[in-house]
Structure 1
Amino acid sequence: MSGREGHLVELVDDGGRAHGEASVSAAHQPPGRLHRAFSVLLVDPDGRVLLQRRAAAKTRFPLRWANSCCGHPAPGESLVEAANRRLGEELGAGPVDLTEVGVYVYYAEDPATGRVEFEYDHVLRADVPADAPLRPDPDEVAELRWVDPATLETDLDVDPRAYAPWLGGVVNRLLRPSGPAAGAPGPSAAPAGLPADDASERSGGR
């Protein structure tokens, strides 16, 4: 088991309330165990979002386009702390101001690797300059590109297999924000939140 696969994720119920922990590897074995995750979208002044193409070495959905950065907070770790940690590890980006724009639950099986994603996913936005210095880790990221989110929604319908299965829900929350959800630890938690929608489809990243 790789080092990151042995890191811990926070197991949650369908309302986002923590009730245990499991290793990354165990949480992503079929049939999957619902756990907390986050998806970051970096947005430039023109409203474009930064996508990364996942490296070939990824154990889930390699070489697919995904949002700027993904990951799992360790049990009890705040979303903001975890997301900024992963932005540094994946993209070489400095700490940014993050805002939670929504949350949703999705389930997806990777036919290429046999792994499963079953996640309570907090969608986080950060506004950054288009020329923000980035130093992507080639073990994590194969390519980067800036795209218009409305165009991306169309592309997701035309060629869904080019993209990670969670990306559609992430972009939807960016364009139609609902605010933070209850149940998450740290600064991004709120006293009340909207329930997560169902979707078809210290820890490391996804």
Structure 2
Amino acid sequence: MLVELVDEQGRPAGSQSVAAAHTAPGRLHRAFSVLLFDDAGRVLMQQRAAVKTRFPLLWTNTCCGHPAPGQAVAEAAAVRLREELGVAAADLTEVGTFQYQASDPSTGRVEHEFDHVLIGRLDGGSLRPNPAEVEDIAWLPTGELRAGMTADPSGYTPWFAQVLDIAESAYRTTN
């Protein structure tokens, strides 16, 4: 699979394999992070599967991934929601972007991403986590989640705090 390389402003700048883009020192590429809320305002978290090549077993947003070069971010996010959690449909809205770079000491891989944050609602319906992608899931109130992040920051992916800040602000504005 290819990822879309981008410049500092998020403009396309070529493509590269996922593995090459995540090899140190990492190449800046487009990514997305989805955070789904339920009708009570809780967020759906996932613990990444143990087989993940980057940040395995850490808790993070509902799902994340990379659009293919030229693919719409929301389209790619909807596909990953189906693949990772069995979510058939979620109305997603892009609410912001940010950049980050983080090295995973356990795998030696690097994330250097121009991340698009999307939010949506999921009220009911069954989830079918894919064990190749997801170790566990949990619905958490944001206050409880933030307390957990403070108590054990190493239990969460390095990008998650920024995703939560952007997503929660947008969710509060629209609800």
TM-score range, shorter chain: over 0.9
Task: Indicate yes or no: 2:48 matched with 1:54.
Answer: yes
SS of residue in 2 equivalent to 1:177: helix
Separation (CA, whole Å) in 2 of partners of 1:20 and 1:154:
40
After TM superposition, list the pairs within 5 Å mapping 1:113-128 onto structure 2. Answer: 113-128=107-122
The aligned residue for residue 155 of structure 2 is 162
Residues 53-72 of structure 1: pairs in structure 2 closer than 5 A = 53-72=47-66
How far residue 45 of structure 1 moved from its aligned partner, in angstroms, is 0.3
Partner AA of 1:33 in structure 2: R
Alpha-carbon RMSD across the aligned residues, in angstroms, is 1.2
Percent identical = 55
CA distance in 1, matches of 2:151, 2:102: 19
Equivalent in the alignment of 2:70: 76
Moved over 3 A (4+): none
The code of the aligned residue for 1:49 comes to V
Instruction: Report whether the alignment pairs 1:138 with 2:138.
Output: no
Cα offset, 1:132, TM superposition: 2.0
Q: Which residue of 2 aligns with 1:96?
A: 90
**Unmatched segments (≥5 aa) in structure 2:** none
Among residues 156, 165, 172, which one is paired with 1:172 in the alignment?
165
Alpha-carbon displacement from aligned partner over 1:139-192 (angstroms, at most 9, x marks no partner): 1101010011233223222211111111101001012239xxxxxxxxxxxxxx
- Count of aligned residue pairs for this structure pair: 171
- Secondary structure of 1:100 counterpart: strand
Q: For the residues of structure 2 that align with 1:132 and 1:148, how far apart are their CA atoms?
A: 19
2:167 aligns to what SS in structure 1? helix
Q: Does the 8 Å contact 1:53/1:143 carry over to 2?
A: yes
Query: What residue in structure 1 maps to residue 9 of structure 2?
Result: 15
Q: Deviations over 1:77-118 (max 9, x none)?
A: 001110011011100111211011111101110000000000
8 Å CA contact retained: 1:153, 1:171:
no
The one-letter code of the counterpart of 1:143 is: D
Tell me how far apart the structure 1 counterparts of residues 145 and 129 of structure 2 sit (CA, whole Å).
Answer: 22
- Residues in 1 aligned to 2:12 and 2:146: alpha-carbon distance in whole angstroms: 32
